[in-house]
A and B are shown apart, each in its own frame.
Chain A
Amino acid sequence: MLVIALDTSTPAVTAGLVALDDGGPRSLAERVTINPRAHGELLMPQLLDVMTEAGHELADADAIVVGAGPGPFTGLRVGMVTAAALGQACGRPVHPVCSLDAIAAQADVTGQLLVATDARRKEAYWAAYSGRTRIDGPHVQRPADVPTEGCTAAAGELAEAFDLPVVEPRYPTPVGLVAAAQDVLGTEPAPLVPLYLRRPDAELPSKRKSVLTRGAK
Chain B
Amino acid sequence: MTADRVVLGIESSCDETGVGLVRLATDGTVELLADAVASSVDEHARYGGVVPEIASRAHLAAMAPTMRRALDESGLELSDVDAIAVTAGPGLAGALMVGVAAAKAYASALGVPLYGVNHLGGHVAVDTLEHGPLPDRCLAMLVSGGHSQLLLVEGIAEKITEVGTTIDDAAGEAYDKVARILDLPYPGGPPIDKQAKLGNPKAIAFPRGLTGPRDAKYDFSFSGLKTAVARWVETEQREGREIPVPDVCASFQEAVADVLTAKAVRAARDLDVDTLVISGGVAANSRLSELAAQRCAEAGIALRVPRPRLCTDNGAMIAALGAHVLASGAKPSPLDMPANPGLPVSTIVVQ
Binding site for B on A (CB under 8 A): 38-45, 47-48, 58-59, 73-74, 77-78, 80-90, 192, 194, 196, 200-205, 208-212, 216-217
Known: A44-B335, A45-B336, A196-B57. A208 touches B47 (CB 8 A): no
- Which residues of A have CB within 8 Å of B183? 208
Evaluate contact between A78 and B51: CB separation under 8 angstroms. no
Question: How many Å from the CB of B135 to the closest CB on chain A?
Answer: 37
Q: How far is the CA of A194 from the CA of B56 in the complex (A)?
A: 12
Evaluate contact between B51 and A202: CB separation under 8 angstroms. yes
Q: How far is the CA of A203 from the CA of B337 in the complex (A)?
A: 33
Nearest B residue (CB) for A203: B47
B208 at the A/B interface (Cβ < 8 Å)? no
Contact of A212 among B54, B94, B104, B231 (CB under 8 A): B231
B249 at the A/B interface (Cβ < 8 Å)? no
Q: How far is the CA of A41 from the CA of B46 in the complex (A)?
A: 34
- Which residues of B have CB within 8 Å of A77? 56-57, 59-60, 94, 97-98, 101
- Which residues of A have CB within 8 Å of B100? 40
Q: How far is the CA of A217 from the CA of B230 in the complex (A)?
A: 14
Known: A81-B105, A89-B109. A40 touches B97 (CB 8 A): yes
Evaluate contact between B101 and A208: CB separation under 8 angstroms. no
Contact of B336 among A42, A87, A90, A211 (CB under 8 A): A42
Q: How far is the CA of A181 from the CA of B56 in the complex (A)?
A: 26
B236 at the A/B interface (Cβ < 8 Å)? no
Evaluate contact between B177 and A40: CB separation under 8 angstroms. no
Known: A84-B102, A204-B47. A212 touches B234 (CB 8 A): yes
Q: How far is the CA of A78 from the CA of B59 in the complex (A)?
A: 11
Tell me if B's interface is mostly helix, strand, loop or mixed: helix
Evaluate contact between B98 and A85: CB separation under 8 angstroms. no
B292 at the A/B interface (Cβ < 8 Å)? no
Nearest A residue (CB) for B234: A212
Evaluate contact between A41 and B336: CB separation under 8 angstroms. yes
- Which residues of B have CB within 8 Å of A41? 336-338
| Chain B CB within 10 Å, residue with most, of A194, A200, A217 | A200
Q: How far is the CA of A202 from the CA of B336 in the complex (A)?
A: 31
- Which residues of A have CB within 8 Å of B234? 210-212
Nearest A residue (CB) for B57: A200
Known: A44-B108, A88-B64. A82 touches B336 (CB 8 A): no
Q: How far is the CA of A39 from the CA of B100 in the complex (A)?
A: 11
Known: A44-B108, A89-B105. A81 touches B63 (CB 8 A): yes
Q: How far is the CA of A42 from the CA of B55 in the complex (A)?
A: 23
Contact of A58 among B60, B101, B109, B336 (CB under 8 A): B109
B48 at the A/B interface (Cβ < 8 Å)? yes
Known: A40-B100, A203-B47. A73 touches B56 (CB 8 A): yes
Known: A40-B97, A194-B60, A200-B53. A45 touches B335 (CB 8 A): yes
Evaluate contact between B94 and A84: CB separation under 8 angstroms. no
B285 at the A/B interface (Cβ < 8 Å)? no
| Chain A CB within 10 Å, residue with most, of B105, B108, B110 | B105
Evaluate contact between B105 and A85: CB separation under 8 angstroms. yes
Known: A41-B336, A200-B54. A89 touches B94 (CB 8 A): no
Q: How far is the CA of A138 from the CA of B82 in the complex (A)?
A: 42
Known: A58-B109, A202-B54, A205-B180. A212 touches B230 (CB 8 A): yes
Contact of A81 among B98, B181, B230, B338 (CB under 8 A): B98
- Which residues of A have CB within 8 Å of B106? 85, 88-89
- Which residues of B have CB within 8 Å of A40? 97, 100-101, 338-339
Nearest B residue (CB) for A212: B234
Q: How far is the CA of A38 from the CA of B337 in the complex (A)?
A: 10
Q: How far is the CA of A81 from the CA of B57 in the complex (A)?
A: 11
- Which residues of B have CB within 8 Å of A192? 64
Evaluate contact between A44 and B104: CB separation under 8 angstroms. yes
Nearest B residue (CB) for A43: B101
As a 0/1 sequence over residues 207 to 240 of chain B, the CB contacts with chain A under 8 angstroms (1 = contact) are 0000000000000000100110011001000000
Contact of A80 among B47, B54, B60, B78 (CB under 8 A): B60
- Which residues of B have CB within 8 Å of A59? 109
- Which residues of A have CB within 8 Å of B230? 209-212
Question: How many Å from the CB of B60 to the closest CB on chain A?
Answer: 5
- Which residues of B have CB within 8 Å of A216? 227
Q: How far is the CA of A40 from the CA of B340 in the complex (A)?
A: 11
B42 at the A/B interface (Cβ < 8 Å)? no
| Chain A CB within 10 Å, residue with most, of B54, B67, B98 | B98
Q: How far is the CA of A59 from the CA of B68 in the complex (A)?
A: 19
B348 at the A/B interface (Cβ < 8 Å)? no
Chain B, 86-126, CB within 8 A of any chain A CB: 93-94, 97-98, 100-106, 108-110
- Which residues of A have CB within 8 Å of B53? 73, 200-202
A-B CB proximity, top 6 nearest: A89-B109, A200-B53, A85-B105, A211-B230, A44-B104, A202-B51
As a 0/1 sequence over residues 313 to 351 of chain B, the CB contacts with chain A under 8 angstroms (1 = contact) are 000000000000000000000011111000000000000
Question: How many Å from the CB of B309 to the closest CB on chain A?
Answer: 25
Evaluate contact between B108 and A208: CB separation under 8 angstroms. no
Question: How many Å from the CB of B63 to the closest CB on chain A?
Answer: 6
